[in-house]
Amino acid sequence: MNIVLLGAPGAGKGTQAQKLVADFGVAHISTGDLLRNAVKAESELGLQAKSYMDAGQLVPDSLVIDLVKERLAEPDAQKGWILDGFPRNTAQAEVLDAELAKMGIALDGALLVDVAFDVIVKRLSSRRTCRSCGYTAGPETEVCSRCGGEMYQRDDDKPETIQKRLDTYQSKTAPLIEYYEKQDKLLKVDGDRPVDEVYVDTKAQLGL
């Protein structure tokens, strides 16, 4: 199983990825995590990425794809992988396709977790995050059940910020749906249901 995960912020992509990783042992490759880990490790690619991030600039696609390629070569990714957070636009998808072809790796599909934007705004604006460990829960949770830390509302979970994130997604990332549809690789699940119901559908779409 080698798949790209698509969906707007707050659609529940990460939750589905975690369940697939737990059940099937595939690698969950988040480009945000890749960048943070590379910077922390002070690897050659990490230092290059840090120079852009420190200057307040976007890390170039070429650098992100190099990090992805490096990660795909690691042992746990040989069982399969879920790519989360890349590609973010059709230009990146074309580069990814070319690099995967060079590596002799087939992309099995692009899984879209589909949720209406008004549902996402309501869902994210009610989310609280632990300051210590990053655990997320509903507004009724004041103390983290995982580590006992303080729960708070992140700035990017406030309604006005969420709308900006969704507008960015709509203009840049949503065209990927059409891109993968044309390749006959688009798989779709309705994400506006209980997590376990979505997961049953996810597995069915992936033939698992």
Q: What is the 3-state secondary structure (H, E, C) of the chain?
A: CEEEEECCCCCCHHHHHHHHHHHHCCEEEEHHHHHHHHHHHCCHHHHHHHHHHHCCCCCCHHHHHHHHHHHHCCHHHHHCEEEECCCCCHHHHHHHHHHHHHHCCCCCEEEEEECCHHHHHHHHHCCEEECCCCCEECCCCCECCCCCCEEECCHHHCHHHHHHHHHHHHHHHCHHHHHHHHCCCEEEEECCCCHHHHHHHHHHHCCC
The torsion angles phi and psi of 14, rounded to 5 degrees, stand at -60, -40
For residue 78, give the CATH number of its domain. 3.40.50.300
Asked if residue 16 belongs to a domain, the reply is yes
Is the pTM higher than 0.75? The answer reads yes
Domain count, the chain: 1
Does 92 map to a domain?
Answer: yes
Question: Does residue 165 lie within any of the structural domains?
Answer: no
Hey, which residues are catalytic here? 13, 88, 127, 154, 165
Q: Does residue 69 sit within a domain?
A: yes
Residue 152 falls within a domain, yes or no? no
Q: Which residues constitute the domain of residue 187?
A: 2-115+172-205
Q: What is the pLDDT of residue 195?
A: 92
Average pLDDT over residues 8-36: 90
Residue 128 resides in a domain: no
Residue 139, in any domain of the structure: no
174-203 pLDDT, tens digit each: 899 999 999 999 999 999 999 999 999 999
Is 45 contained in some domain? yes
pLDDT tops 80 at residue 156: no
pLDDT value at 167 more than 80: yes
